Homo-oligomer: A and B are copies of this chain.
Amino acid sequence: MASSHLLFLILLSVFISTTFSSPSLIRLPTGHRKFGLNDDLYCDSWRLSVETNNAGEWSTIPSQCQVFVQNYMTGQRYLSDSVIVANYSFAYASSVEIATDGKDAWVFDIDETLLSNLPYYARHGFGSEPFDEESFDEWVDLADAPALPASLNLYNQVKEMGFKIFLLTGRSEDQRNATIKNLLFAGYSDWERLILRGTSDQGKLAIVYKSEKRSELVNEGYRIRGSSGDQWSDLLGFAVAERSFKLPNPMYFIA
């Protein structure tokens, strides 16, 4: 009994002494406290908390994590994480028996799910700057966002399997043309419906707006078998999909 406790205490002591600059174990991650040489360890744990929805609401990435997020997004890990999520999505989709009534649906979010705004965020501090609607809307109008490769592959696979594809985005109706142009240019085609925020959806939390729209699909008789999104607000709420797939995104949070 004593040995396992001792092991834990030793591990804990080493951890505290090498990681934190004061001996108090629990510290609030809010505010941008310094972890000194161990920023990477802190930022990796912060990222896990974001991806598992533990972090709750946040506005910008912790200041000490800008280089970490930049390295993550532009290195192999973001692509690898995206590929593995797509693999699990594909494995699940393959297990669904598609009925002949054309009512088996898959819902995709757009930004950081089908399209990557990494070129925009690379010029805006990888989430370290507060969101600027004006410059982002200009970027959207350019219709220049590349496909997230793993998602384009998954999209074509579920389309091939016979799922009806619904694109459900927080973008506004007045961005419809630019969004269609961008999707087609990035290689996406043959979706069943592209759902954007109309006038009556403005000001709603994304989780409410998206749940309502999924609910309308359910009322039309669709079975939402799967859903892919980079925000938990794409996936949770009501009328949720039978399986939801959370794509990585450590750059921003949408409630």
Does A92 touch B at the CB level, under 8 Å? yes
Taking a contact as CB atoms under 8 Å apart, the answer to whether B27 and A246 are in contact is no
B-chain residues with CB within 8 Å of residue A89 when the two chains form the complex: 54
Chain B hits for A204, CB < 8 A: none
Query: For the complex, is A30 an interface residue (Cβ under 8 Å from B)?
Result: yes
Asked if B149 contacts A12 (CB within 8 A), the reply is yes
Contact B8–A44 (Cβ < 8 Å):
no
Q: Which of B25, B49, B150 contacts A26 (CB 8 A)?
A: B150
Dominant SS among interface residues on chain A: helix
> In whole Å, how far is A56's beta carbon from the nearest beta carbon of chain B?
6
Residues of B within 8 A of A28 (CB): 87, 90-91
Copies in the complex: 2
Asked if B54 and A88 sit within 8 Å, CB to CB, the answer is yes
- Given A25-B149, A44-B77, A45-B81, verify A7-B119 contact (CB < 8 Å): yes
Q: How far is the CA of A45 from the CA of B146 in the complex (A)?
A: 22
In-complex Cβ contact of A80 among B30, B45, B56, B119 (8 A):
B45
Residues of B within 8 A of A88 (CB): 29, 49, 54-56
CB contacts under 8 Å to B, within A47-93, are: 48-49, 51-56, 74, 76-77, 79-81, 83-92
B246 and A146 within 8 A (CB): no
Q: Please, what's the 1-or-0 string for A1-36, where 1 marks a CB less than 8 Å from any CB in chain B?
A: 100110110011001001100000111111000000
Report the separation of the CA atoms of residues A154 and B27 in the bound assembly, to the nearest whole angstrom.
11
Q: Judge whether B85 and A54 touch: CB under 8 Å.
A: yes
Contact across chains for A26 and B85 when beta carbons are under 8 A apart: no
Structural contact, A87 and B243, CB atoms closer than 8 A: no
A156's nearest neighbour on chain B, judged by CB, is B26
Enumerate chain A interface residues (CB-CB to B < 8 A).
1, 4-5, 7-8, 11-12, 15, 18-19, 25-30, 41-42, 44-46, 48-49, 51-56, 74, 76-77, 79-81, 83-92, 116, 118-119, 142-147, 149-150, 153-154, 157, 185, 243-246, 248
- Which 3 A-B residue pairs are closest in the complex by CB-CB distance? A4-B119, A45-B84, A8-B146
